[in-house]
Amino acid sequence: MKMKKMLFYISMEKHASPFDIIEAYDAVEDVAVVPYVNVSAEEIPALVNDIIFPRSPKDLINTAIFIGGHDVVKGDEMMEIAVKQMFNPFKVSIVADTDGSNTTAAGCAYKIKETYTKKGENLKGQKAIVFAGTGPVGLRIAALLIKEGVDVAVTSRKLDRAMDAIEKVRKVYSADIKAYEVRSDEDTIKVIEEFKPNIIVTTGPPKITLVSKAIWSKYNFVKILADVNAYPPYGIEGVEANDDCKEIEGRTGIGALRIGTIKNKAQKAIIRKLFEKKGNILKLEDIYAAAFE
């Protein structure tokens, strides 16, 4: 009998995400997705033991863990505990994508790089500001752009929060990054004029415009406008959710739904990778690479 592929979907939420479950079934043939919800970090060791021991080590290539839910901090903690609980030869592949933060960041960075590649230009050496960029998605976009050789800054309504956030990026991703406090249009103008970004990314809450057209249209050095907000009004005025590297007054607009298309592609690809090799620990950089496959 052919061994069934089993994906254990672990979440701290009351309900499993239908989105993540569907993505898993669409990504891999003959997979059984087994959700575990309301899971706390303290319960992870016992749960991992029950996942890694029933099958022989050589068969564990057919077993994997996906950590979902909405709490990114808890998700990262749960993944760290799960990885520490496993040992040779009892290891299964694992990935975390809480709140879709890793795959969304990968989708955004992919579309930005794609824009430069299609124009025959190099992303390396460009400058980017991620407005409202101290959340999980914004910081991950920043980290990926830095890995591509981009000079990156993030903004927050509170400078101390921005400073705390960039320390996380420096510690986790060994990357340098700048921080600004932005609380008004005047602050936005000041930051843009000081930093002179070629790329503007917005990762703010839904239905809030962070950068108006009156502001970004004044600066010829701004070349790319990318927004992850799928609910109108959008994060960058003039950029619609369905804009796919669309020319907007000499700039390139990238909307949330087009970023989402790559996000979905990356999520399916990374789920497939869970079953390609035993003991794969898949992180942000792996998810980003998967978006290009």
The answer, yes or no, to whether residue 173 has pLDDT greater than 80, is: no
Q: Tokens 């992850």 sit at which residue?
A: 228
pLDDT at 218 over 80: yes
pLDDT reported for residue 170: 81
Length of the chain: 293
CB 270 within 8 A of CB 290: yes
If you search the block for the tokens 């003959």, which residue do you land on?
Answer: 30
261: Cα within 13 Å, side-chain hemisphere = 10
| Mean pLDDT, rounded, for 265-282 | 98
Residues 34-75 pLDDT 10s: 999 999 999 999 999 999 999 999 999 999 999 999 999 899
Q: Estimate to the nearest angstrom the gap between the alpha carbon of 88 and the chain centroid.
A: 29
Give the residue range(s) of CATH 3.40.50.720 domains in the chain: 102-257
Topology of the domain comprising 102-257: Rossmann fold (3.40.50)
Cα within 13 Å of Cα(183), Cβ side: 5
Strand-pairing partners, residue 211, are 236
- The DSSP symbol for 211 reads B
In this structure, which topology does domain 5-96 adopt according to CATH? Answer: Rossmann fold (3.40.50)
Q: What does pLDDT average to over the chain?
A: 95
CA dihedral over 148, 152, 158, 162, signed as positive or negative: positive
Where in the chain are all domains bearing CATH 3.40.50.10280?
5-96
Q: Is 227 within 8 Å of 254 (Cβ atoms)?
A: yes
